[in-house]
Structures are given as C-alpha cells and as structure tokens.
Amino acid sequence: MKPQFTPALRRAAAFTLIELLVVIAIIAILAGLLLPSLGKAKELTKRVACLNNQKQILVASLVYEQDYPTWFYYTGSVADDRGPVSLYPRYIPNTKAFLCPNTKNIIRPTTFATAAGWTAFLQDLITTSAGNRESQAGGHSYEYWLYYQNAPRANVRKQPNDGMPPTEVILIVDADDALGAPAPANINNFPDSVNNHGRAGWNWGFVDGHAEWINRVRTAPGLAASLMATNAAMVP
C-alpha cells in the first residue's frame, strides 16, 4: 500500500520589529488626525444642546407671557438673573435646562432660599455661575436680559410688540460676567477662554423665540442692535 503524503504545516509568517513599528506609527498618525476632529464634534454637540436649552427656555418664556401679559419672566433689573424662578417647575420641570452642557455648573436640588412675597425656591436659580464653565459652586448658566441698557430705552423692560425688531432683541444669553483672578484676563459680555464655549462664541435667545450661535465678530454689533452695552475692548 502506497503511503499517503501529508504536507507539513507552513509556519505562519510573523511581523518583524520594523513592520510593527511602522504599523504603530501609522496608528499614531491616524489618531493624531482623528482626535481633534472628535473633540470638535463633541464640543459642537454640546453647543447645539445648549442652544436647545435656550430654545426651551424661550418657549417657556413665551407661554409665561401669555399667562402674565408683558412679562417673559420676572426680574427686577438688567443685572437680575432670577428668571428661572418664574419658569421652574411649572413651565420647565427639569433644572438641567438651565445648565449649559459645556460647563461643570450645578444647581443644588436641596438648597433653598426665600424672599418677601415668594415661596421657597432653589437658591441656585437666582444667580448665574458668571460664565465660569469650571464653576461648581452652584448657579445656573444663562443670563436673563429683560431690560434694555442703552438709550433711548435704558432700564425699560422688554415686551412683545414694543417697537423694537423682535428678531434682534436679546432675551437670554450664555452667562458672561467679568471674572476676577485667578481667571485670565476677560471681558464682560464677550466670549473668552473661561466662558461657557470659550472664545468661539456664545448662544443667544431672542424675543421672537429663535436662538442662534453668535461668534466674536457678531457680538458687538448684535449687542448694539439690541440696545445692550458694548465697549471698545470687544475686538474679535
């Protein structure tokens, strides 16, 4: 009987050290190319989520105005940011809507305050985190601009059909106060590295109910059109 021939198994080829190093180098290059894009995509997603928060607040403000004519929410001055107290929880049941997703800001659920004529409310709904996206001291992420700042309507409350273009009148913005040390140099109401979205820009909500992204170039002209204060330091 003729013996059968069984071929020996071929030894699998192995990568050489040089080939492995080449593969690792290619992976590193691809990672270097992709990671910044992924980071930008993540930041853009948070920017859009913040914009949606503002749209939700605007809708609630317009409904509030139907219940309390000529008031979008209650604040007493242009520097008063207690707008969320008017809207939570009846018009907006979740406090997350008052927090920009691109910040570490928090609203403490068990810290309450009182004021004359008011029922107890969450302390962190009456003040902002001042545009400091790293702040976790307690405070919401947006400013509520219910009053004009500049002539001829300085300190006049904004209302529907008050003669100003509703597509240009700002009602809510990403918080942006002048922050002191140890924050780097920054400008009030102008996007800086420490603010909710850094130097790229900020979200604004308008009286007509729309919200949009505003970059540094559009900031000063947009503020002026809405009769809000500007200054010479607002250089893109």
* DSSP class per residue in 91-110: T---GGGGS-TTS-----TT
- How many whole angstroms separate alpha carbon 167 and alpha carbon 203? 14
Residue 84's pLDDT is 97
pLDDT tens for each residue of 91-122: 999 999 999 999 999 999 988 888 767 778 89
Residue 14's pLDDT is 64
- Annotated domain spans of the chain: 41-225
If one compares 162 and 35, the residue with the highest pLDDT of the two is 162
Residue 137's pLDDT is 95
- Tokens 């209302």 belong to 159
Which DSSP symbol is given to 121? E
- Asked if 213 and 236 touch (Cβ cutoff 8 Å), the reply is no
